[in-house]
């Protein structure tokens, strides 16, 4: 299935790149051009990353339970709460 229409990148290509060692969104963006045109595919690319065992945040860390919890905790804190801290 095509994930990025602008650059004609499929989920298969993204999974293959991850299998070849790409472990961050930024690298996928650089190597494949995903989310570099209209940007509407970013969430879908991150979903494929998550399904492939790579963190969907920008950190590029492989998934483990503790990491997922820490990312979820950061996501629950609002912008203003982070600014105030």
In angstroms, rounded to a whole number, what is the distance separating the alpha carbons of residues 79 and 81? Answer: 6
The residues in 24-83 that bind ligand FES, with binding defined as CB under 6 A, are 34-41
Beta carbons within 8 Å of 18's beta carbon, 6+ residues apart: 28, 49, 52, 53, 54
Q: Is 2 in the site for ligand FES (CB under 6 A)?
A: no
Q: Which is nearer to ligand FES, 33 or 70 (CB)?
A: 33
Element (H, E) at 69: helix 65-76
Q: Closest distance between ligand FES and the C-beta of residue 4, in Å?
A: 3
Q: Closest distance between ligand FES and the C-beta of residue 45, in Å?
A: 8
Nearest in space to 48 (alpha carbons), one of 72, 32, 70, 37: 32
Q: Which is nearer to ligand FES, 38 or 77 (CB)?
A: 38
* Binding stretches for ligand FES (CB under 6 A): 4-7, 34-41
């Amino acid at each position: 299935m095509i994930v990025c229409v602008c650059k004609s990148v499929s989920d298969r290509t993204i999974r293959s790149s991850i299998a070849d060692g790409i472990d961050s969104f930024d690298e996928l963006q650089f190597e494949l051009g995903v989310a570099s045109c209209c940007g509407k595919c970013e969430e879908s690319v991150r979903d494929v990353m998550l399904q492939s065992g790579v963190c969907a945040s920008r950190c590029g860390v492989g998934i483990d339970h503790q990491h997922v919890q820490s990312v979820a905790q950061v996501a629950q804190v609002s912008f203003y709460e982070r600014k105030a801290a």
